[in-house]
Structure 1
Amino acid sequence: MSGRAGGHAGGHGELANAGSEPGGEEIVSRVRVRNLAVVLERRSVLSGIDLDVRDGDWLAVIGANGAGKSTLLKAMAGVLPCSGEVLIDDAPVRRLKPRDRARLLAYAPQSPALPVDMTVFDYALLGRTPYIPYLGRESRHDREVTASVLDRLDLSPFTARTLGHLSGGERQRVVLARALVQQAPVLLLDEPTTALDLGHQQQVLELVDRLRLADGLTVVTTLHDLSLAGQYADSMTLLSGGRVAASGAPAKVLTGELIGEHFDARVRVATGPAGRPEVHLERP
């Protein structure tokens, strides 16, 4: 899944070109995290986090509950104070103006506070805010982008419905829609499949992957389902106790030994038809 299709329909194709050394051995990272640390209420939540996500790749961050996965994405998105550095194409995220940051990076939290009286369309349209002039109104293009994303997420029938009248899975897809409407080259998605049934889990992950390949997006997700993470991610980072316990290709990180140690679970790891790891729980 590391190949990329050509073509672009979202307006940031010029941002999606990876640089490389003449020999092709080194690819400049779209996202780099250096020595990131987060302290909340005098408690160290993350410490010494280093990440490299190559342009156009998908990184899945995994770990047991409380490992710091959501905190990491919030810090990378610039919505949580942290020390260390988060770089997008060598631009420090914390030094960017909010509108400039939003054009580079879209963040979909796991459980955002939603305005219950706002319609699905108007909420998703908020993703176009970085492109709308101050004191201006959305353009026809902004509305077309929004309608297209809602359609691809099977949300067109709900455009006029208020957020307070959606199921948990429908709300989750609307949050993802707002992030995709933003058309940023970097997507940070915190548990994008939470509350979704099996069919919509697949639909959402396939859509994210298609957009990634077509538009050269760089994707960082947290995922509880280890088999799903192994099916879609190019690389994985395992967090434990606020630190990186393992990082690399899915087959390197999803091993029975590492899962047993950091998830306290007994599993069998098999190799699927595409050569990707599949994790199966085994009864003690």
Structure 2
Amino acid sequence: MSHLVVRDLSVVLDRRAVLSGVGLDVRDGDWLAVIGANGAGKSTLLRALAGVLPFGGEVLVDDVPLRRLKPRERARLLACAPQSPALPVDMTVFDYALLGRTPYIPYLGRESRHDREVTASVLERLDLSPLAARPLARLSGGERQRVVLARALAQQAPVLLLDEPTTALDLGHQQQVLELVDRLRLADGLTVVTTLHDLSLAGQYADSMMLLSGGRVAASGSPAEVLTGELIGEHFDARVRVAAGPGGRPEVHLERP
């Protein structure tokens, strides 16, 4: 398990401040859900944490500043499953998941037997073994999401970043993906950070939440502290009713004006 700390993170793109002064603290094995309206900076935050975008401030995993690490070293600490990855249509499920082992393969080298065993084990845990030889073009939406997750898990990094893992999935597949992430988090002690549009889903699964608005942290805390009618109304321009669901977790219901 690993402790993720972000201090005063900022991102400037095309001379515009997209994120300013963002801080977060995710304890070992916890799940943080980042929420916010479109354009709030959620995906930018995950891309900065993953090292895809330049940023100001500090990101630490177990007190190790990621800025000092080479990309391969960073990839051994943080794995990221992007919202809309480029999926080579002719590549097989196994070969795509095997790309997650890249941080461990020497330059100009080939994957080892261990790399292939790790990849096969991940596919088995995600119920993807029967699809290992299938081209990515022949997968359903839910299968593609699991394959993207498989590549991230094959990195064996203690911190997992997931950008909208339920995008374009029906209700059943949304639940399957989030239940799978939760089981893997508990079994492997992963520290998880996800962005999620569905506020009720975020409230059901996350240990803590952070609300971004205009590139800044508008609220953070437990799901019950962040998912309030007042905060949602102010930052999403929506009229909602928040009720306690199973286990006392908040559920958000839209109401007609």
TM normalised by structure 1 equals 0.86
CA distance in 1, matches of 2:256, 2:188: 42
Tell me, yes or no, if structure 1 residue 283 matches structure 2 residue 256: yes
**Aligned to 1:247, which of 212, 216, 220?**
220
1:100 offset after TM fit, Å?
1.1
Tell me, yes or no, if structure 1 residue 163 matches structure 2 residue 159: no
**Aligned to 2:246, which of 245, 255, 273?**
273
Tell me, yes or no, if structure 1 residue 89 matches structure 2 residue 62: yes
User: Are residues 169 and 273 of structure 1, via their aligned partners in 2, closer, same or farther at CA, if it must alter by over 3 Å?
Assistant: closer
CA distance in 2, matches of 1:113, 1:138: 22
Q: Deviations over 1:152-196 (max 9, x none)?
A: 333333221222333333322211110011111000100011122
Q: Which runs of 5+ in 1 are unaligned?
A: 1-15, 19-29
Mean CA deviation greater in 143-152 or 86-95: 143-152
Counterpart secondary structure, 1:72: helix
1:118-133 matches, cutoff 5 A: 118-133=91-106
Mean CA deviation greater in 81-90 or 247-256: 81-90
1:97-176 matches, cutoff 5 A: 97-176=70-149
Q: Which runs of 5+ in 2 are unaligned?
A: none
CA distance in 2, matches of 1:259, 1:227: 12
Please tell me the residue identity of whatever aligns with 1:256: G
Question: Partner residue of 2:184?
Answer: 211
Counterpart secondary structure, 2:85: coil
User: Are residues 210 and 160 of structure 1, via their aligned partners in 2, closer, same or farther at CA, if it must alter by over 3 Å?
Assistant: same
Percent identical: 88
Counterpart secondary structure, 1:278: strand
CA distance in 1, matches of 2:46, 2:91: 26
CA distance in 2, matches of 1:174, 1:215: 18
Conserved 8 A contact 1:62-1:224: yes
CA distance in 1, matches of 2:172, 2:230: 31
Counterpart secondary structure, 1:258: helix
Please tell me the residue identity of whatever aligns with 2:23: D
1:131 offset after TM fit, Å?
2.1
Tell me, yes or no, if structure 1 residue 77 matches structure 2 residue 50: yes
Counterpart secondary structure, 1:220: strand
TM normalised by structure 2 equals 0.95
Question: Partner residue of 1:39?
Answer: 12
**CA RMSD, Structure 1 to Structure 2 (Å):** 1.4
Question: Partner residue of 1:263?
Answer: 236
Please tell me the residue identity of whatever aligns with 1:257: E
**Aligned to 2:210, which of 237, 250, 255?**
237
Conserved 8 A contact 1:230-1:250: yes
Q: Deviations over 1:45-71 (max 9, x none)?
A: 111101111111100000001100000
**Aligned to 2:159, which of 186, 191, 204?**
186
Counterpart secondary structure, 1:274: helix
Question: Partner residue of 1:21?
Answer: none
Counterpart secondary structure, 2:94: helix
CA distance in 2, matches of 1:262, 1:277: 17
Question: Partner residue of 2:27?
Answer: 54
Report how many aligned residue pairs link the two structures: 257
